[in-house]
Chains A and B, each alone.
Chain A
Amino acid sequence: MKNSLPARVLLAAALLLTASYAFAIPTDVTYAEGDASIRFKTGKQQTVEIGAVLNTGDMLKTGRDGLVELDQKGVTLKISPNTVFTLMERERKGSTTPVLSVALGSIKFRYDKLTGKEPTVQTNGCAMGVRGTEFSVFAGADGSTLVLVDSGSVEVEAEGKTVALAPDEGVEVTLGLGPGEKFAVHRDQVDYSKWNDEKLSAMLADPAAAMTGIEARMSSYIASVTEYDGLYRESKQRFDDLIQQKTRILEEKGKEDALKFQNEMVSPVSVQASHLFLNLRYFSLAALSLRRYVGGRMYMYLKSRYMTAPDDGIWTEFVSRFNRVLASFEQSIVPQLVAEDI
């Protein structure tokens, strides 16, 4: 029988404590104006205030006139109006990496100093590796991403392809496709609203093409979730077995041997399990972001346009494909979510 997610969250928390890991990098709100709110990972919501602290799993949303500036130990983030931003983490090459996730809208990133843990920046369409840089990320209505670099370098990766950007270069990534050709860009001359409006118009003009991108991205997330779910279950089983062995050692050989066994055998597996769980959650939440901020919005926009023509072929084909994506999401992603994620 499957463990319920809350039980798995508790186990992962226990594993994290056992491993004495403290992954989260707190992020301070240093400036806030207009409509902006934080939804903490516990589900609690509050208006953004200067001095508030965000941690992994917390989401920040700005409205039409909302502007927020965050400081994450050397990384400054300027969050524009109509933006949805989440602090996440994942494991890569044996250590945890902060992930700054832009579901929608635009953010300007700037490194004041190297933190030693350079974050990954991600949107619904791509991930960006950052090396001492000032750059902007725009996440569009159709899941497209526009990355513009002011200084330093950024590697943009999507669908197995990578593009390296130098200062005054930019690239656009269409959802489900790799990065396009990079282009020269003049600083602060890109109008995000105009770009986003164009993306929205294109999406509404050709919903089938937009759905293809959503389907491809969701399939990729589902594959990752399935993989990490399997690995996490194996790791957890190994952890449970080791805990039983440790108990036997404690009874038969005493405290010292049990402690040695804990350090040599149990702790590495608990760290591995916690990393796997972190990645399982990371990909599950990324899939939720895709579903909510690209798929759900597309559904809303198209529905409102076809309310007077519900039998129109464009709408019925979209709904049919959208429902298939939802069915896959329900089957593979929803079991990894908790009510507080919603």
Chain B
Amino acid sequence: MRPPIIRLVVLLAVAISLMSCASIQRAQDQGRVGQVARLINSGEAEKLAAMSAVPFLLDQEIIPLRADIAAFWGNVVKTGYKVEGPELEKGSPLSADSYRVFADTMEAKAFFARYVKKGARVLELSTGGGRRIVLLVRDALFSRTLYGFKGPF
């Protein structure tokens, strides 16, 4: 059996590595939130449309046409909407129940099951004025895909 000091060191190392993973994950999630907020705030509708998946989940609505997703971001930017003071509250990997964050419906569940690729994350953030936003984002090697946007609510 290992001496107590070695066990303690191993436990500490595991704890530190887990904390580091969590910190790295949180930093990555903050980066994702920051990028989407920046694109909205700087009026980059075309970039938002380009990074949005088709179909796209807007609140409880599945938007199946690329032209509509582009129109959505175009209008959002045109109205002058800004994500003020975005703060990441929670970042979660996909789970069987992730769809409920958007809508507790069969359609949202089917959307997550059929269209959202493994590795996507559900990011819940608070913004100025006490309103909240949820993003559904997935990173690939050189790209980031936005599968859904909920809020502000």
Residues of chain A having any CB pair with chain B under 8 Å: 35, 43, 61, 63-64, 82, 84, 104, 292-293, 296-297, 299-301, 303-308, 310, 326, 330, 334, 337, 339, 341-342
Contacts and interface: CB of A to CB of B under 8 A. Distances in A.
Interface in B100-119: 105-107, 109-111, 113-114
B68 interface: yes
Contacts of B66: 35, 63-64
Contact of B58 (A64, A292, A300, A308): A300
Given A307-B81, A330-B105, A61 B71 contact: no
Nearest to A204: B75
A339 B116 CA distance: 14
B59 to A, nearest CB: 7
A192 to B, nearest CB: 14
Given A306-B79, A330-B105, A334-B107, 19 more contacts: A35-B66, A64-B67, A82-B67, A292-B64, A296-B61, A296-B63, A300-B61, A300-B71, A301-B72, A304-B74, A304-B75, A304-B79, A307-B81, A307-B152, A334-B105, A339-B106, A339-B110, A342-B62, A342-B106
Contacts of A307: 76, 79, 81, 152
B65 interface: yes
B132 to A, nearest CB: 12
Given A330-B105, A334-B105, A300 B110 contact: no
Given A43-B114, A307-B76, A308-B80, A301 B64 contact: no
**Of listed B63, B113, B131, residue having the most chain A CB within 10 A:** B63
A102 to B, nearest CB: 14
A82 B74 CA distance: 18
B62 A292 contact: yes
Contacts of B105: 330, 334
Contacts of B67: 63-64, 82
B81 A308 contact: yes
Interface string B130-153: 010000000000000000000010
B76 A304 contact: yes
B30 interface: no
B114 A342 contact: yes
A305 B114 contact: no
B62 A296 contact: yes
Contact of B64 (A61, A306, A308, A339): A61
A82 B107 contact: no
Contacts of A301: 71-72, 75
A187 B75 CA distance: 35
Nearest to B66: A63
Contact of A304 (B72, B113, B114): B72
A293 B80 CA distance: 26
Interface string B32-71: 0000000000000000000000000011111111111001
14 contacts: A61-B64, A63-B65, A63-B66, A292-B62, A293-B64, A300-B61, A303-B58, A304-B71, A304-B73, A304-B74, A308-B79, A310-B152, A334-B106, A339-B114
A299 B152 contact: no
**Of listed B105, B106, B107, residue having the most chain A CB within 10 A:** B107
Contact of B79 (A305, A330, A339): A305
In the complex, the 5 A-B pairs of residues with the closest C-beta atoms, listed nearest first: A304-B75, A342-B110, A339-B110, A307-B81, A296-B61
